[in-house]
Structure 1
């Protein structure tokens, strides 16, 4: 079955170019040019859409507002944000809002296609899992893609979930930032290594409010480890 992508961009020439390139790669493409239209298209085709490619600067609701509204529905559909903003703080804002990845304009189409392949591969791998991981009061149900801590459901974005899954699969092991980049973002990821630190912070914020002690340990000079005593 073909993968369906919702492509959102208000510049006519760019959306036409990207749509053609994506269709050439055998993706089905639904397009939108405004934030409000994006939400309508997403609602109408929610069961079909495997990925959003979303421009930040849109007429009406901007990309950040669109992401926040989708995430409020607890949807974990992968989202790649396109932005002309290359300031780190802006990128962090996009990730904070719930984007799974970002790409800065102008970009080479091959970079975008590589990011699409990586994010879809991760999504498919996790959909096919039927494992349940238990660590103290922390439970990760990979089949349902649900994380709970002491019976509290922890809402995670796809990338946060993937990072936690890798950490719990390697529970007790100290993983370097480079190892986490390869395992979570893929070996072709060309962004900054500190993206790992950003997402570890996100996970800590969401998990530690339920725990008596921090679950993710910083191993100085190495990286991170999920502690053995998650209780």
Structure 2
């Protein structure tokens, strides 16, 4: 059982588009989070005051008090709750402004739900790695060390690059699920990076080589027109 299984992490979504907010909330709940939804900034701040969130997903274009003012209010109160800005504003000025006010990450609409969930998990690990608990995983012959970005197999310890480890992390999060190349770009690269799909293949091949992965019984299976999947059960 994962260490945080006793207490689902609480994510507060502040989003005035009801349909989108409900979709995000439902997706987070399906991923094991405790999610709450508020439609404006003042209601969001009040909800956070009643029951502190572990992370806030914050839209910028809110009625009344906009997202930036919500963020400024939190930081003026010395509240260090992690904040992921979710907005249709894709300009770099808005992104820089949000991050300068203390946001932890920025995701522009439209977005993939898988990417949103992956970014939330990454922020929570950075904010409280002990509580998030995903420091070591076991899968087949491998022990994956999240703290040192390394993989142990038998007596061999292999250090992965950050990109290789991000790819491995995405695959391990959903063993058996096929991840298309574009999905891997969304989940394992920064929002402002634009690698080619061939670049994904090159990094996967480098990762497989470091893992000593065999073609006969691969841990990372290649499905030519679909993408890649992790074939082994994972224990945390």
- Flag whether TM exceeds 0.5 (same fold): yes
Which 5+ residue runs of structure 2 have no aligned equivalent?
1-6, 133-160, 170-186, 194-236
1:150-229 equivalence runs, <5 A: 188-192=188-192
RMSD: 2.4
1:45-194 equivalence runs, <5 A: 45-46=51-52, 49-125=53-129, 188-192=188-192
Q: Which residue of 1 aligns with 2:39?
A: 33
TM-score by length of 1: 0.55
Q: Which residue of 2 aligns with 1:208?
A: none
List, as ranges, runs of 4+ consecutive aligned residues in structure 1 with deviation greater than 3 Å: none
CA contact (8 A) 2:29 2:35 kept: yes
Which 5+ residue runs of structure 1 have no aligned equivalent?
129-177, 194-231
Query: CA distance change for structure 1 residues 25 and 188 in 2, over 3 Å: closer, same or farther?
Result: same
Q: How far apart are 1:99 and its partner, in Å?
A: 0.7
Q: Which residue of 2 aligns with 1:146?
A: none
TM-score by length of 2: 0.54
CA contact (8 A) 1:115 1:189 kept: no
CA contact (8 A) 1:56 1:81 kept: yes
CA contact (8 A) 1:85 1:104 kept: yes
Larger Rg: 2
Does the residue aligned with 1:54 lie in a helix, a strand or coil?
A: strand
Q: Which residue of 2 aligns with 1:43?
A: 49
Q: How far apart are 1:50 and its partner, in Å?
A: 0.5
Q: How far apart are 1:191 and its partner, in Å?
A: 2.6
Aligned positions, number:
139
